[in-house]
Structure 1
Amino acid sequence: MKKKEENSSMLFWSAVIFTGIFSIWAVVNPEGLTSTLWGWVNLYHANFSWFTMMMPLIILGICAYLAFSKFGKIKLGKTNEKPEFSTFSWLGMLFTAGIGVGLVNFGVAEPLVHYLKSVEGITSGADAVSAAESAMKYTMFIWGLPAWAIYTISGLVIGYFAYSKQAKFLPGTPIEEGFSDKKWGKPMGKITNVVAAGAASLTMAASIGLGVFQVKNAVSAVTGWNLDGMRFSIMILLGMFAIYTTASVLPVGKGMKVLGDINVVVAVSLLVFVFVLGNSPFLMSFIAQTLKNTFLGVIPTSLESFPFLDKQWSFDWPNTTLIWWISWTPFLGIFIARISKGRTIRQIVLAGVLVPTLFLVVWFSVFAGTGFLDTIIGDGSIIQYIQDYPDDVYLSFIMVLQQLPLFQVTGIIFIVLILVFLATSATSSMISLSIITSNGPENAPVGRTLIWSIITTMVAFANVATGTLDGVRAVAVIIGIPYIFLLFLSISGMIRQLRHDTANEDYLNYQQKLGKERS
């Protein structure tokens, strides 16, 4: 017991120090931090962007192998284990924890940015129709199958060891257990745990800070109030803190489950409203076109490295965002594992990758499709806003709602959606941080969950107050680069363990069969 407490304390303080160093640097010298870290990120991109683009294809291949091989029938937990949550609640928590507020922030903005700036966009000489189709192809490459393959595999590797091998809920467990016969396995696993905790805290702090600005924009647009000044930012941050802290300290079935269910209902309601009141025939055609590009375009896009073109757009968007997804995997992996007990590897892979991707096809097609209609045959106000304010493109989602009836109602729904989306991601992060820094119990200790909620909110506040969110984002991305290696090492550890376990099982079955024949 004493050793367990010492391990827990060491993990906690190592993670706090790791987080604190980068947080203080971000506040004291934001320009230095930002220029230094983004310089390192761009150096990585310049040499390895080809691998970053190819990485999702490799992970998708591994997911397919796990789902359709003999490993697919293996259940996380005992053979007769029943899922803890209904399929609806499971998918709701999985989806909303993985997407977060980015679904609203970039639902309109990102496709329109690609329409303008991608290698196949307007500024590259493409016609409007080709640029729009290309923009959706790149948007879904970033947000669709690749993102959900990364998230799903990160949960699967932890969940298998936690529920099938009774190991700890730690990001480093697949490395420690999967390579237990190697001298480097245990120390590498411990390093992974510390890096994971730091990445989870800093990544979520940046997302919370971004959420504060988005809520301010939404409230201003809906009410017409002037919310300039720190007082309003603090009020919004405290409100969000109250929501996600309460949900974090409650049992998963009462806190995160409720938020996930609310999120799905609100998001689908807003989606249906825009589809029905918008140009539905066009949007239906656009959904079909996007569906084709999402599934048929993932392979050629993964293999595209733009060797003869200016790569700045590629560095800024697909490359950086894919690494950002990796930096989310430490806490998402823990959380996905925690809610997936009783489900088979095949169920987790197919549902975890395909269901959210299909929803996002519809989401981006409806909201961005409405934005494209305004751009190509409308007054162009949305695309003009994105051109005029490239560092604050998030208001574009609200502009789509403003073009439809009942904005005073949908605007309020939009604000609720931001708050709940952000709260679900933050809640999963706090739960995961508590589990990681408590040495991997199945259920997060309330006290440590509360501590991490306070720490992460303080980091978010410091960066909102000083306007240094870009620096914290840079930290999250730079941590994601080495974590690519750690993720692949974890996957290798799980496959290694699966082969060992199934080989033993096959041998035992053979011996039993042989015994029966002899008798």
Structure 2
Amino acid sequence: MQRPASPRIDSTVFWVAAVLSALFVAWGVFFADSLAAVFDAVLFDFLVPSFGWVFILSSFGFLAFSVYLAFSRYGRIRLGADDEQPEFRTVSWVAMMFSAGMGIGLMFFGVAEPMTHMGTPPAGAAEPNTRGAAQVAMEYSYFHWAFHPWAIYAIMGLALAYFCFRRGMPNLISTAFHPLLGDRVYGPAGKTIDILAIFATLFGSATSLGLGALQINEGLDVLFGVGGRDAVGLAIVVIVVLTLCFILSAVSGVHRGIQWLSNTNMVLAVLLLFFLFVVGPTVFILDTFVQSLGGYLANLVPMSFRTASYGDSEFVSGWTIFYWAWWISWAPFVGTFIARISRGRTIREFVVGVILVPSLVSWVWFAVLGGTAINLQLTGGADIAGAVAESQPAALFSTLSAFPLSGLTSLIAIILVALFFISGADAASVVMGMLSSKGNINPRAWAVVVWGVFTGAAAAICLLAGAIQGSVDAAITALQSVAIASAAPFVLILIGLCFSLLKALRADRGPDTLAAPEPDRAISGTGGAPAPQQMSAESPQERDRRRI
């Protein structure tokens, strides 16, 4: 039998990542103006103009590769032994996928993005603030939140699930490169990959936390008259308080509590959508959903290859490239979650479920929230465009205020953002603890605390760097910058992961043989998940005791 994963910290990965993170925080605390200047110079003057095409091309490549794997002969291969059945029932798996598809981002951009694109249609595709502009706005909102991001997550989750559950390898991103690097994954090359994964998770999570804090700020202003769009100081206080909450949640080990938070998120989100669907412009929402979905599918390929060189450079840089970078920075965290709940699925089931189910959630979300806001603007019911122009975080609350029970729905929105903040950052901290603990699924509490503190501090530093420039828009730009910066090296990791996975699949004849493939001899006895033969012998009762 293989030994269980070591509970010890990987000192090289942990300390290198921790010291560099601490240096970033110190830079932001003592030289915030310098940090803001570097963001502008390095990212928006060099990285995005010179290498933005890499994000554009690779994101479409991830989608195409996912579809290829699903419908090729590899689609029959199981993420586990050949005779292993799914760990979770399909209904439960879909429900958890729905939960993973919801988050702070949907709360923040559900109204703000469609209304922004409606006021300034990409590449001048329509007359601003018209029905044509509204159509284009919804298509691009679907584009940014559906197939492409979930294909990115699918690549990461599929690789982790395959190498962990089928090949019996440790639950580390670096070991998924064994087909390409061999035993070098246990040396400096592998440790570098895991350090980059920690950075991507840290700063991708920090971006989400910063956006969530700004939105809670606006909600507090609406309900209690405190905060407001330029109160970055209060947003930092919000980050501190919620950081303490998710650290307590992460180290408590009370999985029922974490599960309760996730279920509460889903229930509140569904209630909010249902309320707006009923009291809002129901027919308009349905029309928007159908027409925008058709337009999105028809224009998917042209939109996927639009770069800053020949289109609207400000739009592509500030929206599309930011989104692709943000999703890439979240890939280690979300991919790990998806992998954990997908044991026993075939590759075809995995890809179809991971890409289609969350995409459907995003389409419905934007159709309800974005469609409601657009209808208010077109009919003169409320000036949502003006509210968005003043402050993107205020967009959702301006929409809710146009309907009955706005105080209650605004409170629900604040609670949703806070719960998404806590549960998402909780899981991200645990994932970073795993990456710095040799893949152990139960990292030591103090390691989780360290990464939780760094995540909250990074979010606060980004807001502070933006505040130096005097507005909440600058703070949002700073958050976008750090997401792009963290994703820039990690996009190369994801590209390499595709080649590594394909090489492993070519050597795996899957269900075409009577015997399950042997795990790589190089990793036999190194720890991590049990070998496939051992996993298939596990009883259903034992599987039921394991929970995410």
Write the mapping of 1:400-415 to structure 2, written as runs, cut at 5 A.
Answer: 400-415=399-414
Among residues 129, 134, 153, which one is paired with 2:155 in the alignment? Answer: 153
Q: Which deviates the most, 126-135 or 483-492? A: 126-135
Offset at 1:484? 1.0
Contact 2:150 2:358 survives alignment (8 Å): yes
**Equivalence for 1:384:** 386
Q: Which deviates the most, 490-499 or 201-210? A: 201-210
* Structure 2 length-normalised TM: 0.84
Go from structure 1 to structure 2 and tell me whether the alpha carbon gap of 1:233 and 1:126 turns closer, same or farther (over 3 Å shift).
Answer: closer
Write the mapping of 1:141-180 to structure 2, written as runs, cut at 5 A.
Answer: 141-175=143-177, 177-180=178-181
Contact 2:196 2:489 survives alignment (8 Å): no
Among residues 480, 486, 492, which one is paired with 2:487 in the alignment? Answer: 480
CA distance in 2, matches of 1:108, 1:140: 12
Go from structure 1 to structure 2 and tell me whether the alpha carbon gap of 1:99 and 1:337 turns closer, same or farther (over 3 Å shift).
Answer: same
Q: Which amino acid aligns with 1:355?
A: V
CA distance in 2, matches of 1:343, 1:504: 13
**Equivalence for 2:501:** 494
Offset at 1:473? 4.1
Q: Which deviates the most, 254-263 or 321-330? A: 254-263
1:205-245 Cα distance to aligned partner (Å, 9 max, x none): 23223322211211221234467978855663354234423
Go from structure 1 to structure 2 and tell me whether the alpha carbon gap of 1:88 and 1:406 turns closer, same or farther (over 3 Å shift).
Answer: farther
Go from structure 1 to structure 2 and tell me whether the alpha carbon gap of 1:250 and 1:68 turns closer, same or farther (over 3 Å shift).
Answer: farther
Write the mapping of 1:224-239 to structure 2, written as runs, cut at 5 A.
Answer: 224-225=225-226, 233=235, 236-239=238-241
Go from structure 1 to structure 2 and tell me whether the alpha carbon gap of 1:435 and 1:91 turns closer, same or farther (over 3 Å shift).
Answer: farther
**Equivalence for 2:62:** 59
**Equivalence for 1:513:** none
CA distance in 1, matches of 2:510, 2:117: 48
CA distance in 2, matches of 1:283, 1:141: 18
Q: Which amino acid aligns with 2:410?
A: G
**Equivalence for 1:428:** 427
Contact 1:245 1:427 survives alignment (8 Å): yes
1:120-179 Cα distance to aligned partner (Å, 9 max, x none): 458x7457122111111111111111111111211111121111111122222212x121
**Equivalence for 1:202:** 203
Go from structure 1 to structure 2 and tell me whether the alpha carbon gap of 1:295 and 1:314 turns closer, same or farther (over 3 Å shift).
Answer: same
Write the mapping of 1:91-240 to structure 2, written as runs, cut at 5 A.
Answer: 91-97=94-100, 99-121=102-124, 125=127, 128-175=130-177, 177-181=178-182, 187-225=188-226, 233=235, 236-240=238-242
**Equivalence for 1:512:** none
**Equivalence for 1:75:** 78
Go from structure 1 to structure 2 and tell me whether the alpha carbon gap of 1:231 and 1:35 turns closer, same or farther (over 3 Å shift).
Answer: closer
Contact 2:56 2:305 survives alignment (8 Å): yes
Go from structure 1 to structure 2 and tell me whether the alpha carbon gap of 1:38 and 1:464 turns closer, same or farther (over 3 Å shift).
Answer: closer
Offset at 1:248? 2.3
Among residues 334, 337, 347, which one is paired with 1:335 in the alignment? Answer: 337
1:85-123 Cα distance to aligned partner (Å, 9 max, x none): 45455444444445420111110001111122233458x
Go from structure 1 to structure 2 and tell me whether the alpha carbon gap of 1:99 and 1:48 turns closer, same or farther (over 3 Å shift).
Answer: farther
Offset at 1:32? 2.5
**Equivalence for 2:319:** 317
Go from structure 1 to structure 2 and tell me whether the alpha carbon gap of 1:501 and 1:38 turns closer, same or farther (over 3 Å shift).
Answer: farther
Instruction: Report % sequence identity.
Output: 30
Offset at 1:383? 0.4
Q: Which amino acid aligns with 1:478?
A: A
Write the mapping of 1:451-466 to structure 2, written as runs, cut at 5 A.
Answer: 451-464=450-463
Offset at 1:5? 7.2
Contact 1:338 1:442 survives alignment (8 Å): no
CA distance in 2, matches of 1:23, 1:59: 33
Contact 2:432 2:451 survives alignment (8 Å): yes
Contact 2:232 2:464 survives alignment (8 Å): yes
* Structure 1 length-normalised TM: 0.88
CA distance in 1, matches of 2:426, 2:10: 21
The secondary structure found in structure 2 opposite 1:362 is helix
CA distance in 2, matches of 1:306, 1:434: 37
Offset at 1:397? 0.5
**Equivalence for 1:515:** none
Q: Which amino acid aligns with 1:448?
A: A
**Equivalence for 2:328:** 326
Contact 1:154 1:487 survives alignment (8 Å): yes
CA distance in 2, matches of 1:86, 1:252: 23
Q: Which amino acid aligns with 1:31?
A: D
CA distance in 2, matches of 1:98, 1:433: 20
Offset at 1:393? 0.8
The secondary structure found in structure 2 opposite 1:315 is helix
Offset at 1:380? 4.9
**Equivalence for 2:28:** 26
CA distance in 1, matches of 2:272, 2:424: 20
The secondary structure found in structure 2 opposite 1:107 is helix
Contact 1:107 1:397 survives alignment (8 Å): yes
CA distance in 2, matches of 1:93, 1:433: 21
Go from structure 1 to structure 2 and tell me whether the alpha carbon gap of 1:32 and 1:238 turns closer, same or farther (over 3 Å shift).
Answer: closer
Contact 2:176 2:500 survives alignment (8 Å): yes
Contact 1:93 1:256 survives alignment (8 Å): no
Give unpaired runs (5+ residues) of structure 2. 469-474, 517-548
Contact 1:435 1:444 survives alignment (8 Å): yes
Offset at 1:255? 4.3
Go from structure 1 to structure 2 and tell me whether the alpha carbon gap of 1:458 and 1:37 turns closer, same or farther (over 3 Å shift).
Answer: closer
CA distance in 1, matches of 2:187, 2:497: 12
Contact 2:382 2:402 survives alignment (8 Å): no
Go from structure 1 to structure 2 and tell me whether the alpha carbon gap of 1:226 and 1:493 turns closer, same or farther (over 3 Å shift).
Answer: closer
**What is the root-mean-square deviation of aligned Cα atoms in Å?**
3.0
CA distance in 2, matches of 1:173, 1:24: 32
Contact 1:246 1:255 survives alignment (8 Å): no
**Equivalence for 1:289:** 291
